[in-house]
Amino acid sequence: MNSSFAAERLLFTPATPIADAVPTIFAFPNEYSVGITSLGYQVVWATLASRNDLQVSRLFTDLHEPLPAQPELLGFSLSWELDYSNILSLLESLNIPIRAADRSARHPLVFGGGPVLTANPEPFADFFDLILLGDGENLLDDFIAAYQEVRGSDRPSQRRQLARIPGIYVPSLYEVRYVSAEGAIASIQPIEVGVPAQIEKQTYRGNTLSASTVVTEKAAWENIYMVEVVRSCPEMCRFCLASYLTLPFRTASLEGSLIPAIERGLKVTRRLGLLGASVTQHPEFEALLDHLNQSQYDSVRLSLASVRTNTVTSKLAETLVKHDTRSITIAVESGSDRLRQVINKKLTNDEIIQAATSARSGGLSALKLYGMVGIPSEEPDDLEQTVEMLRAVKRAAPGLRLTFGCSTFVPKSHTPFQWFGVNLHAEKQLKLLQKQLRPQGIDFRPESYSWSVIQALISRGDRRLSTLLELARHYGDSLGSYRRAFKQLKGQLPDLDFYVHETWSADQVLPWSHIQSALPQATLLKHLDSAKDYFLPVSDTNPQTADAKLTTARP
């Protein structure tokens, strides 16, 4: 056995496959150390491997378990957009056509799942026979049970039957029409009777959430045991996929599931990660901290995924310090009160300063704040307020190492800001912040603007992008590769600006309009209207503000 697999400590018991178990490959399109650190991948693998009617082998880009000669199912968990190129490479290495339309009965059914595909499967739709949308808890078993029913059928019948299962999306059974080759989508319709017009994304409503099924020193976070404390986030910042995509907000029961899960994990490791979009939002978070502050946990190293600003108390800081964590990360987005109202971030600069002083008095040595440029309606004055806020934090908590990580606003499907484009001035704004902050001793870490553009392209892409993605993959991972591919395909699909920078009209058919959102479009539009209440009067100097006001008008 490969040494990486041999180093694993399993927290579940794989089943012994029965004689005619379905030969299945479950892949993560990146290296083992990355894939095995994904809680989603771990949990799906354990779910599949716990069934005796499947014979599951794992596949990563750098290693794999012994693979079946004739797999019937091949699954991918996609957590990072650009890993799509690894999916295509893995398919090629297995001699499987990369497009579903070119596969026949001798090829496995290729399925995908994970946050990227659930948010917007369309740019990748042509590569998959089926895509599992939403929470895997019940969906995986429903899928395997349905597959067992159609196992002996021909490929078209299999697809047709599986498409009837709630949460299973079979892209080839939907026809997308366009206003013109370079225009928007005109309609998305199922091509057969019995195929649902709307695919119901699955939502698990139990109070036992996920926990690691494997702990290993070979993971990117060495020997970490992860528990999911909450799912989604009740704050609903209007740009936030982590909140809107997975609503409603759900919490793991403290006594019934969280503490027992933690006890199980700490039998095999002393490193604990509390995961979730907003872990401190758990209604019993204080009680969880009290539990972890007991002496038997003194040697446990604790990591928190994310923390809400106004929950950074001295007690939280002390707990982290006691458990070997020296820094904390909070997302503040902006120093401008107006922009925070635009995005629905219920936070004041005073609370940010209070969080910094609590972090320092609790013994933490570093604070990382996350912000964003290019928020719809942003004006130069808003950036100045961000700089001023950071100066004030530095003054209030001297000695605390201050880092400001800054990304560019990227529109995400199923959020109220899905209609906005990426601000064309964002790159300039990042440079401006850099110029202002570095001399103040604030460690400014901008995220690549080019990467934000590619993210936006995939985030709002439709099926026409599949050809472009194939081309860009051959040219390399840079924004230049995508531009080159657009040039080559001119006349066959809209240009980059359409997908990335344009503000879309509210009556435009969205690439994901056939996939059920957690909230109906009318509600998203109401939330968008609430954001616009805080827009400044149309400014000639900010084309995005003017554009947004015009084009998101009601149909």
Query: Which residues bind to ligand SF4, rule: CB under 6 A?
Result: 233, 235-237, 240, 242-243, 277-278, 308, 331
d(CA 42, CA 37): 8
Q: Please, is 514 exposed, middle or buried when counting C-beta atoms within 10 Å of its C-beta (0-12, 13-18, 19+)?
A: buried
Nearest approach, Cβ of residue 359 and ligand SF4 (Å) = 18
d(CA 110, CA 308): 39
Q: Judged by CB, which is closer to ligand SF4: 308, or 414? A: 308
Nearest approach, Cβ of residue 232 and ligand SF4 (Å) = 8
Residue with tokens 């560019």: 408
Angle (deg, nearest 10), helices 84-93 and 465-475 = 80
d(CA 444, CA 5): 39
Nearest approach, Cβ of residue 319 and ligand SF4 (Å) = 21
Q: Judged by CB, which is closer to ligand SF4: 281, or 542? A: 281
| Pairing mode of beta strands 130-132, 109-113 | parallel
Q: Judged by CB, which is closer to ligand SF4: 51, or 231? A: 231
Nearest approach, Cβ of residue 214 and ligand SF4 (Å) = 26
Q: Judged by CB, which is closer to ligand SF4: 51, or 238? A: 238
Q: Judged by CB, which is closer to ligand SF4: 240, or 496? A: 240
Nearest approach, Cβ of residue 228 and ligand SF4 (Å) = 14
Q: Judged by CB, which is closer to ligand SF4: 219, or 343? A: 343
Angle at 365 between CA 364 and CA 369, to 5 degrees: 90
Q: Judged by CB, which is closer to ligand SF4: 140, or 332? A: 332
Residue with tokens 């659930």: 118
Q: Judged by CB, which is closer to ligand SF4: 34, or 331? A: 331
Nearest approach, Cβ of residue 3 and ligand SF4 (Å) = 37
Q: Judged by CB, which is closer to ligand SF4: 90, or 373? A: 373
| Pairing mode of beta strands 230-231, 224-228 | unpaired
- φ/ψ of 157, rounded to 5, equals -65, -40
Nearest approach, Cβ of residue 512 and ligand SF4 (Å) = 19
Under a CB-based contact definition with an 8 Å cutoff, are residues 38 and 77 in contact? Answer: yes
Residue type, 269: T
At 355 the three-state DSSP class reads helix
Residue with tokens 């771990």: 42
Q: Judged by CB, which is closer to ligand SF4: 159, or 282? A: 282
Q: Which of 420, 421, 383, 381 is nearest to 404 (CA)?
A: 383
Nearest approach, Cβ of residue 234 and ligand SF4 (Å) = 7
What stretch of H or E contains 550? helix 543-551
Nearest approach, Cβ of residue 237 and ligand SF4 (Å) = 3
Q: Judged by CB, which is closer to ligand SF4: 330, or 465? A: 330
Q: Which two tokens stand for residue 532?
A: 């616009």
Nearest approach, Cβ of residue 347 and ligand SF4 (Å) = 9
Q: Judged by CB, which is closer to ligand SF4: 304, or 468? A: 304
Q: Please, is 63 exposed, middle or buried when counting C-beta atoms within 10 Å of its C-beta (0-12, 13-18, 19+)?
A: middle
Nearest approach, Cβ of residue 346 and ligand SF4 (Å) = 9
SS3 content of the chain, % helix, strand, coil (to 5): 40, 15, 40
Residue with tokens 């139990």: 206
Under a CB-based contact definition with an 8 Å cutoff, are residues 342 and 365 in contact? Answer: no
At 63 the three-state DSSP class reads coil
d(CA 504, CA 415): 13
d(CA 309, CA 307): 6
Nearest approach, Cβ of residue 276 and ligand SF4 (Å) = 9
Dihedral sign from CA coordinates of 355, 356, 360, 365: positive
